[in-house]
C-alpha cells in the first residue's frame, strides 16, 4: 500500500497542477484523474511489466498509457488539452515514473540492468 501511495503522490504532484493549468479541470477532477491513472499504471506498469522487464520498458509503457489515458479523458471531459500540452505532461510523468521505478528496484532488492 505504501508503494501505491508513493506513486499516487508523485503522479499527483505532476498531474494535478498541469491539468489545472492546461485545461479547465477542477482540483477534484484533476485529483480523480491522477488517482485513476495511478491505479491503472500501478497494476499494469509496476505489478506486471516492471516485474518481467526493466525500468526503461516499464517507463515507456507508463508513458504510452498516460498519453492514451489523458487523450481519452480529455476528450470525454471536454478539456481543451492540446497535443503539445499532452506531450509535456507525459514527459514530466515519464521522468517521475523512471525515478519511482528506480526506487522500487532498490527496495525490492532488484538491480535494473538498464540503469547501469
DSSP character at residue 111: -
pLDDT band at residue 113 under the 50/70/90 scheme: very low
pTM of the model: 0.81
Instruction: Give residue for cell 499527483.
Output: 12
Cell of 15: 498531474
- At 106, the pLDDT band (50, 70, 90 cuts) reads low
Give pLDDT, residue 107: 56
Amino acid at each position: 500500500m505504501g508503494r501505491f501511495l508513493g506513486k499516487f503522490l508523485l503522479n499527483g504532484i505532476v498531474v494535478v497542477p498541469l491539468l489545472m493549468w492546461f485545461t479547465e479541470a477542477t482540483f477534484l477532477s484533476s485529483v480523480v484523474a491522477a488517482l485513476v491513472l495511478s491505479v491503472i499504471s500501478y497494476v499494469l506498469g509496476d505489478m506486471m511489466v516492471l516485474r518481467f522487464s526493466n525500468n526503461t520498458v516499464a517507463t515507456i509503457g507508463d508513458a504510452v498509457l498516460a498519453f492514451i489515458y489523458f487523450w481519452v479523458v480529455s476528450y470525454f471531459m471536454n478539456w481543451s488539452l492540446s497535443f503539445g500540452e499532452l506531450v509535456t505532461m507525459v514527459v514530466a510523468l515519464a521522468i517521475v515514473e523512471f525515478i519511482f521505478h528506480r526506487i522500487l528496484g532498490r527496495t525490492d532488492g532488484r538491480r535494473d540492468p538498464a540503469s547501469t
